[in-house]
Structure 1
């Protein structure tokens, strides 16, 4: 299916098979069979949260030294969140200085899904979102809902 594989590629395939066998709730991923180091993922906003109804697209790119180094994961969808840069880059400890090869794609996506409802405003990637989250939560929630609705209108999930 993939031809000659490196150790990195073999680990990616192992992660893929594990993900397919037991996908986390509210998370989907699709592997590019022509480029197994490039995945697309979808995170559904957790129910009973301001993110409910969100369909958020992400890209996942694996470096040559995965799993020693983390995958590069970023939002393709526009997301207003204290720990997500406007570029879609994600400020999350397991994708940076707390990475270990024990983590796999399911763990990463589940952590990102959890980050949506449990932001860390003390380590902001988006200062405006962090300030609204800590000082004016209703305004923060309105901005999040506006972002989610804009994603629906743009058809981000297609």
Structure 2
């Protein structure tokens, strides 16, 4: 709600400027009153192309007096800037905001004048004499410092569109950079993977390992192989070999040729044996 001392002329002028702004082509400049106070305005001025402030975005605050437009508005830079006509508190030294103010001027024209001041500073009426002296005597050093301040204080913050995941102000860093830092914990392997891993040792156990026999082990293997066989044990008795194996051998038979035989000659029940018959007697 406006203060009680505000006249209807002031309110009409503010509403007319709001309506005129909708018709103007502001480009990248933004200018609008606060939502809850028509006497406080906010403006955004981009660094002019080709100037030492290019790439920066400068926030400006405007406060209107109760008798506006008969008094000049109070304009302050909220973004730090290396400029001979703007001090470290944001105060601005420009003639239209002091003795050259006119009710015919508007807030939009004030903002355009500030944008021109960034391109063409005024060393004849400096607010910071040290910067003005550097600008005149060492322009290269002045421009280098102005660009450094722009990089430090006036770079816009990337605004991420959550719906599309894209930065609207300036490109934000990629997600491969944030992955590396925390690497995600490795996920638990699937059942098929675990089964394949456990099957590897089983295959390894069934592999046949061949070891070449050396000359020293050959006699040992020969003795072991010989131990598995059951040889026939033999004993030499003179010139003859006697078989001592478990198989029973047939007993030798003695043969006797029968003669004319008597009763004690072991004749069969049939009686006498024929001459020349061989009788086998087992021991």
TM-score, normalised to structure 1, is 0.90
Contact 2:58 2:77 in 1 (8 A): yes
Structure of higher RCO (CA pairs closer than 8 Å, 6+ residues apart): 1
| Structure having the larger proportion of residues in helix | 1
How many angstroms apart in 2 are the aligned matches of 1:77 and 1:44? 11
Higher CA-based Rg: 2
SS of structure 1 residue aligned to 2:27? coil
How many angstroms apart in 2 are the aligned matches of 1:95 and 1:153? 27
Alignment root-mean-square deviation, CA: 2.3
- Which residue matches 1:93? 95
User: Out of 61, 64, 73, which is 1:71 matched to?
Assistant: 73
SS of structure 1 residue aligned to 2:52? coil
Q: Point out where structure 2 has 5 or more consecutive residues left out of the alignment.
A: 160-283
How many angstroms apart in 1 are the aligned matches of 2:62 and 2:50? 27
The reply to whether residue 119 of structure 1 matches residue 131 of structure 2 is no
Aligned length: 156
Deviation at 1:9, TM superposition (A): 2.2
SS of structure 2 residue aligned to 1:52? coil
Contact 2:80 2:88 in 1 (8 A): yes
- Which residue matches 1:40? 42
How many angstroms apart in 2 are the aligned matches of 1:127 and 1:16? 37
- Which residue matches 1:62? 64
- Which residue matches 1:6? 8
Deviation at 1:81, TM superposition (A): 0.6
Q: Point out where structure 1 has 5 or more consecutive residues left out of the alignment.
A: none
Contact 1:81 1:119 in 2 (8 A): yes
